[in-house]
Amino acid sequence: MNGLLRDALARSTPALGTWVKIPAMEVMELVALAGFDFAVIDLEHAPIGIETAYRLIGTALHTGVAPVVRLPGLDPGLAQRLLDAGAEGIMIPHVDTVAQARAAVNAVRFPPLGARGVGSTSRAGAWGALPRDVYLSHAPVLITQIESAEGVRHAGAIAAVEGVDALLVGAADLSVSLGLPETDPTVRDLIAHTISQARDAGLPIGNAGNGTAEAARASAEAGFTFTMLSNDASLLGAAARAAVEGARAAVSPARVAAASASGPGGAAHTAGTPATGPGDAARTGVAPAAGDPARVADDAAHVADEASRAFTGHAGPAGEGPADRADSHRAAGDAAGASAPAAGDPARAADEPNHPAAEADRTGRGTHA
């Protein structure tokens, strides 16, 4: 019996997940709405108890994101309760040997491969509604973490253990255990070796990175088949900081003074008036002076706006693209400028060709591929 996680790991493109560390159901809803393939509920490095994990698992299943739980360590009783709660995967940290890998399999698999107890009246068994054979066919995804030089040495043998479904490289713990930064060539070589061992065994292998397109691209190019894009708390914190920094810059005295000086109808856009932002530079052809506070404020406001859109998953009103937003901005400006030049006015004719460049600059800033 397959699930959301196995389906995601079987795709040709890397599966995308994130860590859930905030003990709130709404976080899991937001993770699902963002479009993640899976979410790892972190019981190792977050203050999440089993009852909260139980509710997070249920929320994930109902919102269409695969729930995985990282245990604090190998604990067969805890693993069984979380699997009965409906977890599609169990992640075990610090698996360094074949014996530890086999013990993990024993905890999460039914006999004869393991020793997991039967609890078919739980959520995993649809509260007793699933036929016993269907319930027993459920094989959760077991992910073992490779986080030490010893684990790297045994990575191939761990990957070959029947019942181990995937590996995840813990680069932070690996580098700390060696007393080296993650960028050190020795650490990079060990990670590359682990990737090679997993791929040779035909297993998916993942890593934990930050929440950027560049990080995801680098992970895929390195050979990882799934990747963790940051975590809920860090993503929220980054978006909040960008919003506050952009807002403070936008309401700074320099920015407000520049806006006031421009006057209604955009007097600052007339030929020869210094521009106050990148859109204005495209419109007038006059670049702002280096270090101009107004330009700094304008740039920060754009960055905050794009970061907020990226975090919430909205690029604007439904169906609206950059070209639509450019048209709406232009229409609003025309409506506001009651004193706009008449048709055929040379000043307007000179100004109009630069509108597309200005709007493209404003709508395209800070986006990622």
In DSSP terms, 143 is beta-bridged to: 91, 166
Asked if the structure places residue 282 within a domain, the reply is: yes
Residue 30 sits in the same domain as residue 151: yes
Active-site residue (options: 45, 62, 314, 368): 45
Q: What is the mean pLDDT of residues 95-118?
A: 97
* Predicted model pTM: 0.71
> Residue 152 belongs to a domain with what CATH number?
3.20.20.60
Do residue 147 and residue 205 come from a single domain? yes
Q: Same domain for 215 and 342?
A: no
140 in a domain, yes or no?
Answer: yes
Q: Determine which of 79-93, 242-256, 347-361 has the lowest per-residue pLDDT on average.
A: 347-361
Average pLDDT over all residues of the chain: 80
Same domain for 167 and 301, yes or no, is no
Structural domain total, the chain = 2
Instruction: Specify which of 24-33, 251-260, 297-306 reaches the highest per-range mean pLDDT.
Output: 24-33
Domain for residue 137, yes or no?
A: yes
Which pLDDT band holds residue 336 (cuts at 50, 70, 90)?
A: very low
Residues 113 and 186 in one domain: yes
Q: Are residues 74 and 141 in the same domain?
A: yes
Examine the domain organization and report whether 48 and 187 are in the same domain.
yes
| Shared-domain flag, residues 219 and 259 | no
314 among known catalytic residues:
no
In a domain, 244, yes or no: no
Sequence-separated (6 or more) residues with CB below 8 Å from residue 53: 41, 43, 69, 82, 85
Residue 239 in domain = no
Same domain membership, residue 259 and residue 192: no
Residue that terminates a domain, selected from 175, 197, 231: 231
Average pLDDT in the 242-251 region? 93
Residue 337 tokens read as 């400028």
Q: What percent of the chain has pLDDT over 70?
A: 70
35-64: average pLDDT? 97
136 shares its domain with 72: yes
Q: Which residues form the domain of 326?
A: 251-364
338-363 pLDDT tens trace: 344 444 444 443 444 344 333 334 33
Residues 166 and 113 in one domain: yes
Same domain for 174 and 64: yes
Query: pLDDT at position 275, please?
Result: 42
